[in-house]
Structure 1
Amino acid sequence: MPVATGRRRDARCLLRVGLRSTACNRPRVWIDPVLLVALALASGAFLVDAPLATALGALGVAGVLRRHLSAGVFVGALVALGMGCARAHWEVAAYEAAYERARSGFRAPERCALEGRVASSPVLSHDRIAFTLSLEAGRCESLRLPAGIGVRLGGGPRDLARGDRVSVIAQIAPIELLHNPGLADPRPFAARRGSVVSGTALDVSIDERGRGPSALIDRARAAVRERILATFAPAAAPLARALVLGENDLDEGDAAAFAKSGLAHLLAVSGTHLVFAVVSIVRAFAAVLVRIERLSAARDVGRAAAVFGMGLAPLYADFAGGSGSAWRAAWMLMAAFAARALGRIPCASRALALSVLTGWVVDPLVAFDVSFLLSAAATAGLLVLGGPLARPCERLRSRPARAFGKAIATTLAAMAPCAPLLAMLGSDLTLAGVFANVIAAPFGELVALPLCLAHAVTAPVPLLEQGVALVASGALLVVRQIAHESAAATWLAFGVPDPNAYQLALCAPLFTGFLLAVLPSGRPGHLCRAWVVAAAVGLGVIEVAARRAGAPEGELRMTALAVGQGDATLVDLPDGSLMLVDAGGALFEGAPDPGERVVVPVLRARRRERIDVLVVTHPHPDHAGGVFAVLDAVSVGEIWLPVSASDDAPALETRLLAEAARRNVPVRGPRALCGRSRAFGGAVVRVLAPCPDSVPGRSINDNSLVVRVELGERALLLMGDAEHEQENALIAHPAIRLRADVLKVGHHGSRTSTSEVLVARVAPRVATVSCGVRNRFGHPSPEVVERLTERGVRVLRTDRHGAIHVRTDGRDMWVGAARPSVPALVERLRAWSLAARVSAARGSSSHSLAP
């Protein structure tokens, strides 16, 4: 928590805000109650997602600050935490209810006629405009959409603006909420955006132009965007749009380089950016007022300029894209300008408190805005750590050395509180980023930013506009090159595990205790030190527990991940080995890669750095497209792949074989796998088809690898995308043992798979279906679901239940789902698990899981 001691009576106190006392020569520690309450209000939202972890973090902070908190402040913070939780819970519940209503009406994406008003500032992404429509009326092929829901659309004219009333023909479906173990709950993030369905706008007609400040700002944004695209170098234009308009449209290489190098903030509308732009304009305005002698003699023009700044800050934040970091900086600036307008000395800790408080009032789920959190954390670090870290640099005799040292200290002060958040985002931390910031910041903040802002007003003078664009492009490309060079210095980077909710919670008391230790007169007591030590030990204990849970031994665990319309299944084997069966994939170009967005983060959350066996059931994009992200992230022992029997191999198979050869990963086909069981600590893995080799003339689906995993009395059968031809071939061989407790249904539950005879031979207790809410194929087929349920099989779907996990020790079996918000499902799963344990304990051969 920021701390305050002794107020200065001159303007220099602006540099030491946050420390306050009645006597400058005898400072005492004082906690800003407004900031404490604001943080509690915002943090209350975390109780919705991780109640125990949030309570642990709050308890730790209270323990560290026990000597410095009055009972009234402590109670106030506790009440604020509860209020934050209540508001956040209501927002998430309301969103989930709206989402379920919309989802239940769709079986596949539909073409709809929509009417409504543009509700969000349009942005340019992948050469098309994206915006949110506040729906007034919606008619689809088989349903009507309720008014008032948000619809996120891609496509439309570039001059769209908020408030425009439009008629749209669009292909839409519910948005994909992917619930997976170890990853953040997607509901709060989706609730913040407000959209429950999304899709592509096929035709957009503007019926009525919007009016008001928001519409004017969006039209100004559109004009600036077009001038940037027309005059900047092609490689620099996306960087300029990110810097001026907050549009994140970098290509994959640039985005990765800026993220790895720690320079992403130079292209974001951060607090530094907003302060530079707004304060510069306010100072220019004040300079003009000062030159009006009659006005400056009669009035305090500084206070008038501050009032002007209070109005300018939110307008500029809106123009710059309205990100969480931009709004937080704008509210903090407004608080500082308000103090100046009232003739008071601005207090940075109080301004930070008011910015967090305003953020919570506007958005009860603001704690789930990562840019807001990073901005607040960096600001707190600069306020509290900037001075102590820069103080040793004052002893340096050389002026360049002092300047360089202070720049390093400033970078470290801003980065230190952000480290847990950056680790949560999956970014490697790199020492190169510290030096890259020192080198790149002058080009980004002192050259590129002023020139890009100046470029926005030079359109009436074409030659000047082109000259400014040329120099700004050069500065941006220098920053871009520094980012790439820094990202390439992998020897300075070190990987950190993704912190789980408990580890993030324990970082709060650790950071608070550190602040008390480094600040003047902080003097943390013995109890404070005990809490800090306990938090540090807790981090280590939780890390050990996370590694053990991520690599269990002595049991078989299957996790069917929710990757949308695709397949990805993790199989933990009893000896600690890991098998990944497929890795999902994007069905069309430009769509998010589930391998990168889901599979790799789940592996990081489990602390898994190696996959012993990577099974690619067949080379279709929805099964194999995500494999390449996995190969980039972890080491792989071997790949199982049904290599094509013909020379006309699919392009994806050819690419995968080349990548495996480049990495020296052995690839085993059906000839090497069929008829040879593999043992992994008591579990036996067998490939049942296609055997003895891929069959020429069959479809790729019907040449899928079919894998059976057995431990003791329990078995799993993973069918890939096998359809009736492959199923019939399996059924025709009575020697092949198909019986399994868990059936991973073939081809996402298509009507061309899971025949009556197959279900009878397998006799599963549970069937899992990997499918997405946006699939256009209508998977799973109602016929298949009915066929399974008629035989008493419990059908679990990743589109409704999230990731599905099955665990067995060879006798007992436990079944669960990653989306526990469906109470009926939770109760059924408890009943199934109990029945499975009772059945196994009795040695029963029954496959029924009914209670």
Structure 2
Amino acid sequence: MRVSSREPLAPPRPHLPPVLLAGLAFWAAGVLVHPFLRNVGAEGCVALGASAMAAGVTVGAVCVRRRVVPLTAVAALGVAAALVACASAAWSLTAAASMAGGERLWECTLTTDARQSDFGATATVRAASDGRVIAVRLNLPAEAGDLMQGERLTVRAALRAPSAAAAESFWNSGLAGSLTVRDLPAPEERRGALLAGLRHHAIGLIERYGGEGAPLVQALVCGWRGPMEESGAYEQFKRVGLAHLVAVSGAHLSIVTLFVTSGLRLVRLGRRAIAVVTALFLVGYVGFTGMPVSALRAASMVATGLLALLTDRRSSALAALGLCLIAFGAADVSALLSPSFVLSAGSTLGIVVLAPLFTSWAARARPAVAAASAPLALTAASTLATQPYAAALFAQVPLLSPVANMVGAPLFTVACVTGFAAVLAACLVPAVAPLSLGAAGAAAAPLAWAVRGLAAVPGTCLPVDGDAAAMVLLSVVMVAGLWAWWPSPSGRSLAAAAGALATAALLAAAPWRAGADEIVMLDVGQGDAFLVRSQGAALLVDTGNRDALLKEACARQGVRFLDRVAVTHPDDDHCGSLEALGDVAAVEGLLVADDLLECPCEGCGDLRDRAESERYPAGVRGLKVGDAVTCGRFTLTVVWPASFADEGGNGDSLSFLCSYDGDGDGAAEWTALLCGDAEAEQLRAMAPSLPADGIDVLKVGHHGSKKSLDESLVARLAPRIALVSVGAGNRYGHPAPEVCDLLAEGGCAVLCTDEAGDVTVAFSMEKIEVSTEHAAPSS
């Protein structure tokens, strides 16, 4: 029997209820207005709230009188409600500023797990004092990194307003400021909620009996990613597009819950019983994560979406999603800007609207694929609705994501469901903990192996430098476009879509400006990353330590391949993102100072271990003074260090005299000095190796610290252009104003990444041209 190419037909297109439109209008208005209110003041907030409330009442009254509610009125009511909520939240944040000042006692309840940072541990808390409750960031000693959501402690500290550089971030997160605690309260003074205690116990049991798979089981079941992040395993999941599987997100809960409901259907439970058991499962599952607000939001949205698919009432689910958007946004306006909120809401919207359509497409495939069509369709719908935003969030598009999701979804489900059952059994019957949790670790192993294998493929990600709001808009356009088109399944149309996606990926992956002769100072925050490229060759000096910023810079500059990466010294702000670089660019080999290969210090040893794990095709090469590396028309000659005297520290920074020979006659037209964190003392020692008439471009050492230059050195080097890689509002005060003044007084143009962004210095036979990312080009 021949099957018509028109069958099976696409399922009915879901109706989009007015409540969903109101919810989306509320969300959009909140995202646009809340950041703006930071500079309005308390009186302005009151005026805005009153005006919005009056407008909403007026629109409602007109609709009641006419007995009709047009879609424009629905959207207007959503916007009015958002403005009232934003005004109220902004007024509260503005009023909280009055609590800043002297020390006082605060009763703090953690609303997130504590996370390790460069300067200790941090957590978000609800802090109560003198009858008022505000949300703040709590800075803790490093040993407090095991504190979990729900735990309570009493601290004495002064509320500190955020710095100018951090003010926008704090405001958008709904935080009034920060409390810093020098001494962690004694364990008996730390009061844990019941769920926090249960979670602590479960995590400890998994660590004890879970074997090598324990970190993954802790993340899947308990939402505890600390061990995975420390081992680098979480980066591997991000690299292949499976980060959503190890976060308590809408996509994570959707996949697990779908398999649970599928299992319940196999035992022929009725719809009502399935709904009850599924709800109980969600409550129990989220309970193991400590019930953070983000998980509760995700669970609520997932419940509306999946129960709609079970009952085939998608319009009701979309109405419920609209109510969720309004309810959660009204409770906490800052949640509307939260990545977890965006991902959960987007995932639920994509699943409810598109999963049945994608299932009908999969039904045309072979039986083996058709049998797995439900989870695959769910994953595809969720990914389509969230991937653009996730790409902006992680600064990369995981090219292996489709394959990884097809392979990983079933393995993840087995690991997750097994882990949940094992942890529950271990908590209820401690005697079975070794057996059950050992089985959970074994069940997680295939997923870990699959991710590790896929992540080992070089250049698996496409770097992205995209605005988050624009990416959300792109998702909305794609979902809305498919909803409007609603195509019936067709092999020809699917092949055309796959071809279009492949072509777009190839075009996006193509390098830009491959023939340019230039040195680019990449904006990677408080770190160094300098790109040298010419005639198709490319070399990167240092990587910084902000993975997302490095990947965004690679996207801006079209970097997909590097002949070499040179690490000047093993400080984190110069090589912390070495592994992350491999996600988005294939790296041929690594260059370091020759003494680093034998230096016994911890930093050098750690860098050697990391380099070995990357398995560079050309290996790791040690450079001595006088060695030269060619990059197109540039020749980088090592001028420092003669030997290590600082255990690989700032004073041992690998430094290059970069000479540009435009016509190939062996004489340099222009020169640049790239000196890592070397300061005045080292520059004086290397001065005899530099041109007698000075250099044209100077990478200022140690981010422009006070000791980086002095008057005599500025006169000796006589640079025309000075490049300073520095993070905005950094705590070190870099660059030092006196250093910038010395350079400016010497007739040098000083360019800093905190103000200019990426700075490109382009070389030709006739001239040097400078262009900046955030300012008009100058020469």
TM-score, normalising length: structure 2: 0.68
8 Å CA contact 2:240–2:404 kept in 1: the answer is yes
Query: Residues 163-185 of structure 1, C-alpha deviation per residue, up to 9 Å, x if partnerless?
Result: 84523699x9989989xxxxxxx
Matched to 2:657, the amino acid is V
Inter-partner Cα distance in structure 1 for 2:364 and 2:388: 31
SS, match of residue 757 in structure 1? helix
Give 1:664 deviation, angstroms. Answer: 1.8
Relative distance call for 1:481 and 1:617 in structure 2 (3 A) is same
Query: Residues 512-550 of structure 1, C-alpha deviation per residue, up to 9 Å, x if partnerless?
Result: 2222333789xxxxxxx9xxx99x9999899968967x5
SS, match of residue 513 in structure 1? helix
Relative distance call for 1:437 and 1:786 in structure 2 (3 A) is closer
Relative distance call for 1:660 and 1:470 in structure 2 (3 A) is closer
Identify the match of residue 166 of structure 1 among 122, 139, 154: 154
Identify the match of residue 518 of structure 2 among 556, 566, 569: 556
Q: 1:42 aligns to what?
A: 27
Inter-partner Cα distance in structure 2 for 1:711 and 1:72: 70
Inter-partner Cα distance in structure 2 for 1:559 and 1:48: 35
Matched to 1:150, the amino acid is R
- In structure 1, runs of 5+ residues without a counterpart are 1-15, 20-29, 52-69, 106-111, 138-146, 179-185, 282-301, 339-343, 459-463, 522-528, 585-592, 819-828, 838-851
8 Å CA contact 1:404–1:438 kept in 2: the answer is no
Give me the CA root mean square deviation. 5.9
Relative distance call for 1:746 and 1:482 in structure 2 (3 A) is closer
1:582 aligns with 2:542: yes
Q: 1:752 aligns to what?
A: 707
Q: 2:175 aligns to what?
A: 194
Inter-partner Cα distance in structure 1 for 2:234 and 2:741: 46
Relative distance call for 1:227 and 1:114 in structure 2 (3 A) is farther
Query: Residues 363-395 of structure 1, C-alpha deviation per residue, up to 9 Å, x if partnerless?
Result: 445454333333333323332333233347779
Matches within 5 A, 1:453-464: 453=424, 455-456=426-427, 458=428, 464=429
8 Å CA contact 1:279–1:309 kept in 2: the answer is no
Q: Which has the higher contact order (CA 8 A, sep 6+)?
A: 1
Inter-partner Cα distance in structure 1 for 2:686 and 2:279: 74
Identify the match of residue 452 of structure 1 among 417, 423, 435: 423
Q: 2:618 aligns to what?
A: 664
The farther-off stretch of 444-453 and 186-195 is 186-195
Inter-partner Cα distance in structure 1 for 2:707 and 2:772: 28
8 Å CA contact 1:325–1:374 kept in 2: the answer is no
Inter-partner Cα distance in structure 2 for 1:788 and 1:276: 58
Q: 1:498 aligns to what?
A: 464
Inter-partner Cα distance in structure 1 for 2:711 and 2:581: 36
Identify the match of residue 677 of structure 2 among 693, 718, 721: 721
Inter-partner Cα distance in structure 2 for 1:657 and 1:275: 38
Identify the match of residue 248 of structure 2 among 269, 289, 303: 269
1:382 aligns with 2:322: no
1:568 aligns with 2:529: yes
Inter-partner Cα distance in structure 2 for 1:817 and 1:711: 26
Relative distance call for 1:622 and 1:737 in structure 2 (3 A) is farther
Matched to 1:233, the amino acid is G
Inter-partner Cα distance in structure 2 for 1:578 and 1:197: 43
Give 1:756 deviation, angstroms. Answer: 0.9
8 Å CA contact 2:301–2:344 kept in 1: the answer is no
Query: Residues 581-618 of structure 1, C-alpha deviation per residue, up to 9 Å, x if partnerless?
Result: 2123xxxxxxxx43x44324532454421123433334
- In structure 2, runs of 5+ residues without a counterpart are 1-10, 37-67, 261-271, 663-668
Query: Residues 718-755 of structure 1, C-alpha deviation per residue, up to 9 Å, x if partnerless?
Result: 33222334322444578434243x53221233343312
SS, match of residue 687 in structure 1? strand
Give 1:337 deviation, angstroms. Answer: 10
Q: 2:113 aligns to what?
A: 123
Relative distance call for 1:438 and 1:722 in structure 2 (3 A) is closer
Q: 1:614 aligns to what?
A: 565
Relative distance call for 1:660 and 1:44 in structure 2 (3 A) is same
SS, match of residue 594 in structure 2? coil
Give 1:93 deviation, angstroms. Answer: 13
Matched to 2:138, the amino acid is V
Relative distance call for 1:510 and 1:95 in structure 2 (3 A) is same
8 Å CA contact 2:20–2:322 kept in 1: the answer is yes
Q: 2:639 aligns to what?
A: 689
8 Å CA contact 1:314–1:330 kept in 2: the answer is no
8 Å CA contact 2:560–2:585 kept in 1: the answer is yes
Q: 1:298 aligns to what?
A: none
Relative distance call for 1:316 and 1:470 in structure 2 (3 A) is same
SS, match of residue 720 in structure 1? coil
Q: 1:643 aligns to what?
A: 594
Inter-partner Cα distance in structure 1 for 2:504 and 2:371: 41
Query: Residues 226-274 of structure 1, C-alpha deviation per residue, up to 9 Å, x if partnerless?
Result: 56556x4244544444344422224235434544666655554345876
Relative distance call for 1:445 and 1:493 in structure 2 (3 A) is farther
Give 1:216 deviation, angstroms. Answer: 5.3
Inter-partner Cα distance in structure 1 for 2:588 and 2:258: 57
8 Å CA contact 2:297–2:344 kept in 1: the answer is no
8 Å CA contact 1:44–1:81 kept in 2: the answer is yes
Query: Residues 6-37 of structure 1, C-alpha deviation per residue, up to 9 Å, x if partnerless?
Result: xxxxxxxxxx9983xxxxxxxxxx53233234
Give 1:511 deviation, angstroms. Answer: 2.9
Matched to 2:124, the amino acid is T
Q: How many residues align?
A: 687
Query: Residues 54-103 of structure 1, C-alpha deviation per residue, up to 9 Å, x if partnerless?
Result: xxxxxxxxxxxxxxxx995368658967997998899999999999x99x
The farther-off stretch of 656-665 and 717-726 is 656-665
SS, match of residue 123 in structure 1? coil
Q: 1:769 aligns to what?
A: 724
Inter-partner Cα distance in structure 2 for 1:696 and 1:474: 50
Relative distance call for 1:122 and 1:245 in structure 2 (3 A) is same
Inter-partner Cα distance in structure 1 for 2:125 and 2:570: 38
Give 1:327 deviation, angstroms. Answer: 0.9
Matched to 2:350, the amino acid is G
Q: 1:471 aligns to what?
A: 436
Give 1:347 deviation, angstroms. Answer: 1.0
1:805 aligns with 2:762: no
Q: 1:58 aligns to what?
A: none
TM-score, normalising length: structure 1: 0.63
Inter-partner Cα distance in structure 1 for 2:719 and 2:89: 40
SS, match of residue 380 in structure 1? helix
Identify the match of residue 704 of structure 1 among 646, 654, 657: 654
Inter-partner Cα distance in structure 2 for 1:722 and 1:446: 53
Relative distance call for 1:671 and 1:229 in structure 2 (3 A) is closer
Relative distance call for 1:658 and 1:440 in structure 2 (3 A) is closer
8 Å CA contact 2:657–2:690 kept in 1: the answer is no
Relative distance call for 1:537 and 1:728 in structure 2 (3 A) is same
8 Å CA contact 1:638–1:668 kept in 2: the answer is no
Inter-partner Cα distance in structure 1 for 2:161 and 2:645: 36
8 Å CA contact 2:399–2:461 kept in 1: the answer is yes
Relative distance call for 1:801 and 1:562 in structure 2 (3 A) is farther
Inter-partner Cα distance in structure 1 for 2:26 and 2:741: 48
Give 1:117 deviation, angstroms. Answer: 3.2
Inter-partner Cα distance in structure 1 for 2:639 and 2:438: 57
SS, match of residue 347 in structure 1? helix
SS, match of residue 327 in structure 1? helix
Give 1:322 deviation, angstroms. Answer: 2.0
8 Å CA contact 2:161–2:176 kept in 1: the answer is no
8 Å CA contact 2:515–2:536 kept in 1: the answer is yes
Relative distance call for 1:161 and 1:775 in structure 2 (3 A) is same
8 Å CA contact 1:335–1:355 kept in 2: the answer is no
Inter-partner Cα distance in structure 2 for 1:486 and 1:645: 32
8 Å CA contact 2:761–2:770 kept in 1: the answer is yes
**Percent identity (aligned):** 22
Give 1:484 deviation, angstroms. Answer: 1.7
Inter-partner Cα distance in structure 1 for 2:89 and 2:715: 46
8 Å CA contact 2:569–2:653 kept in 1: the answer is yes
8 Å CA contact 1:317–1:330 kept in 2: the answer is no
SS, match of residue 644 in structure 1? helix
